[in-house]
Structure 1
């Protein structure tokens, strides 16, 4: 019987010239296309926007996040407004937004001395007491990284606290009263100060000289500044300030510009909180028909008593008695 060896046939697979490349080039090409689209989008925005709109875009990007609830994280969500690009945002719902920072150092008394690092409840009247209060406000602004947006000034009538815009941050949406998250956190942070002190407070809103324009309403800068001041009041109350602390809410429009050389400058758009001393609060209360000052009443009665009595007045009085 013959021995047959098995026949082994080797077949080589066909080689394709595409096998050496793989799919990595597709990922790189996709990244390149995304970068080009972003570049073209930036160039388009620079072409169609003016300087004020560019500043508004920068301010929105610095003060908003895609993780914010609602439509504030999406600048292209046109549902709340008529513009295809909404630069404002919806941060007015205080129930769904908490302050980013918690200020405790000035209320716990955890420093070296109680006079300098703890805010003692009560009425602040003297210049020294107001200076301590000013340092508290400045330190709180520092803790929320708002040093450039807060100005504090001690005056004979009280403490003046200015919360203003800058080239990075806008307090409100352009032409609206929607408070941005950055300044909402700032107001919520300083609200406990007005819970501790018993001084009366004036809240005033200010705009720049740019006239308010709306196709569907007759609203002017007067209504806009008043509405913004009231939103600041509501935010402070939500942060813990008693409602009775506020003596007056006023809208000043553009009648009190900080930068008169540049009427449209960002620092002119601001909210002012004026902490009144007791004499200043009494003068304001008497000016608007509140309880009259006792000394003023006494002086008025004394002046009336010292007036000369005319004979005809006596005769008319006698005729009335008869």
Structure 2
């Protein structure tokens, strides 16, 4: 035991902190960031120094899928070459080259895209400026297809475009068609008009008046309203009715949205193909189905059969 006069020593324990090195990971991240930033400024400098033709070529390269660029289409061709074209086999290369030419012809140019987008904006602005037509803006759809700019006028239960089972145009549908008719004259492109119905059939089915006739009559009724609104009649290249065979994507066949009118502002190449459909064997080559066989016919078997039949008849008469 300690005496009263003795004092205990005060012991202070200090924890020793060891600072460990954290490595250089931040340097790697900084280097990656600076490399990406340098690449960004390099691309911007190249684009600024490139000509419009070079920029258009770069845009065309990135707008074409890799598989389509290699094979010339979505299907796998029969050619043994990874890149189409070249080689002595016309059965493969000609078909591949034709598909590539077709894709090139139907692909819209920047100028065509600009014209179509301007037409879409003008139609939308005219409809938006009219209080009555503004309610129909939700029933209009614009999209760019392989044939041209497609303008779809869709039907709804609340606001149908035609009387039920009839080609009688509703008043607001008539106003809409006559409003957009002058705007379609501003482009030199030909037009294609098609009518569509839902899958609800008539009582007589397809034996009498059916959805085929109804879709065609509605397309022609829309044509008459467009012409009455000022559309040049010569611009209409094709008027057709497709019945209920072509439905809208992700819709039931009986959906009212399938009752629609489709107006196509055609590309010039598409108009030319409609006017001048080529033969299967190509231009300037007669079709094998239309060739007349001029080779001589061997009539000897027929003559022998006729002679034997005549002798048999003479023998019967001799009896």
State TM-score, norm by structure 1. Answer: 0.49
The structure where helix makes up a greater share of residues is: 2
